[in-house]
């Protein structure tokens, strides 16, 4: 950009606290004229968060605090509103994903999570070897929703999968073993579901003998 200056604006930006004292920076934000389009734009300061009233290091501090506390508790502690704390935490999470890069798991952990009352589910897939979640999505726990994960991972990385750990939900197995997904993967059912089915079978046998 061609640096043609107009009136400067002073912005008050929150930075990391010093003990119990909140620290704010007063920053000059300078408008410049773009040599390509001719429009006047504000210069972009790379050390500011997506919410330009906070520094990136403050946003990342909020994100790290949210790893061990609820967003509500962190917001209360730092005197933020909930939406601001959530947005800063999301920026931190996006940065962690960028640094981690696209995963290439060899052992999958597949499960579902209920996101609200009424049996509304989303699928969570984890890299078991690295011990971290790598995908959250779908509209339910159907084959079609599970297919979205393998499409996101890509055929080359799907072929590297050696084992998939899951409960006995049929849709997860069906999607995993599709020819275009990971037919080479072994399937390991978690012991809790196996024991539940075993106990149910034993109960039926006992009742039949009464």
Residue ranges of domains in the chain, CATH in brackets: 9-100 (no CATH), 107-195 (3.30.420.10)
Contacts of 124 (CB under 8 A, 6+ apart): 110, 111, 112, 113, 133, 135, 136
Full DSSP string of 142-196: SHHHHHHHHHHH-HHHHTT--EEEE-S-HHHHHHHTSTTS-TT-EEEE-HHHHHH
- Does the structure show a pLDDT above 70 at 80? yes
* Mean pLDDT (whole number) for 148-168: 94
Q: Tell me the whole-structure pTM to 2 decimals.
A: 0.56
φ, ψ of residue 158 in degrees (nearest 5): -60, -35
- For 5-64, write each residue's pLDDT tens digit: 445 678 899 999 998 899 999 988 888 887 888 888 877 889 999 999 999 999 999 999
Pairing of strands 40-42, 107-116: unpaired
Better-scored residue on pLDDT, 97 or 69? 69
Nearest to 23 by CA among 59, 54, 44, 47: 54
């Amino acid at each position: 950009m061609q640096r043609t200056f107009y009136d400067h604006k002073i912005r008050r930006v929150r930075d990391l606290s010093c003990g119990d004292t909140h620290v704010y920076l007063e920053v000059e934000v300078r408008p410049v004229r773009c040599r390509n389009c001719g429009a006047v734009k504000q210069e972009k300061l790379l050390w500011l968060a997506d919410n330009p009233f906070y520094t990136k290091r403050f946003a990342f501090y909020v994100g790290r605090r949210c790893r061990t506390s609820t967003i509500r508790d962190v917001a209360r502690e730092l005197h933020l509103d909930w939406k601001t704390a959530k947005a800063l935490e999301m920026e931190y999470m996006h940065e962690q994903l960028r640094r981690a890069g696209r995963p290439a798991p060899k052992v999958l952990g597949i499960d579902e999570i209920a996101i609200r009352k009424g049996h509304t589910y989303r699928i969570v897939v984890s890299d078991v070897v690295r011990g971290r979640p790598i995908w959250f999505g779908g509209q339910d726990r159907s084959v079609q929703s599970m297919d979205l994960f393998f499409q996101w991972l890509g055929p080359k990385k799907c072929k590297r999968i050696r084992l998939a750990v899951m409960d006995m939900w049929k849709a997860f197995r069906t999607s995993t073993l599709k020819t275009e997904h990971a037919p080479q993967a072994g399937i390991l059912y978690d012991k809790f579901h196996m024991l539940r089915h075993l106990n149910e079978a034993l109960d039926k046998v006992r009742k039949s003998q009464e």
